[in-house]
Amino acid sequence: MNLNILFEDKEFLIVEKPVGMESQSARSFEPDMVSEVKRHIHTLSPKAGEPYVGVIHRLDKPVGGVMVYAKTKEAADSLSKQVSAHKMEKIYYAVVCGKPVENFGTYVDYLWKDGKNNSSKIVDKGIKGAKLAELSFKVVDNAEFQGEVISLLEIRLKTGRHHQIRVQMAGHGNPLWGDQKYNPRFQQKGTRTNVALYASSLTFTHPITGKKMPFSIKPNGEIFEQFSFLKQV
């Protein structure tokens, strides 16, 4: 495959993860982003041994968007610290079924991950293993698609939990379009759909120069094309 690289220097590279690809090393024989990035680095500068690729953050397999991968351990350490300190800004676009009651807001919940079923759910604060999950959202456009009202949301993650956006939006009454795990409408057998979620923007501080590094890319796909807002972005 041809990687869509938005930026690259000696420390890291910014790449668009395609929908349907694992963002870290996959256990199967399917291609994954880490393997593709390693192949790219090796092609540019063939050296003995395997190239270093640091995974800084993750995207669910059915979600596409902007990602950063470190090329040195020093850069990985710096970027990981920015994630932990909530200094790496991530903005997502999501298409949800219906319209949220408010045009903007913040959801604060506790999520519990079910490793056996690779799913998460909202639980009470005191549940063992429950982790705080917080995001803020803003409705930026509405449309009608296949006889149903859908809304385009801009979402900013404050925490990075397993399936966080998908679980929280479903839990608050507006599940993501195409989400076969958390949206009952798309859970019929034999249905194949993509989750209408896209990591559109990533901003952080360069690990060496300290310069602010903003990167963004417009979401693509039929469901996102229903919104005039994205044609103006």
Q: Using an 8 Å Cβ cutoff, are 3 and 15 in contact?
A: yes
In DSSP terms, 107 is beta-bridged to 135
DSSP state of 169: H
List Cβ neighbours of 80 (8 Å cut-off, separation of 6 or more).
Answer: 54, 56
Q: Please calculate the CA angle 5-71-203 and round it to the nearest 5 degrees.
A: 60
DSSP state of 72: S
What burial class does residue 55 get, using C-beta atoms within 10 Å of its C-beta: 0-12 exposed, 13-18 middle, 19+ buried?
middle
Catalytic residue among 32, 60, 109, 179: 60
**What is the separation of C-alpha 62 from the centre of its chain, rounded to a whole number of angstroms?**
9
Assess whether 32 carries a catalytic annotation.
no
Q: Which residues are catalytic?
A: 60
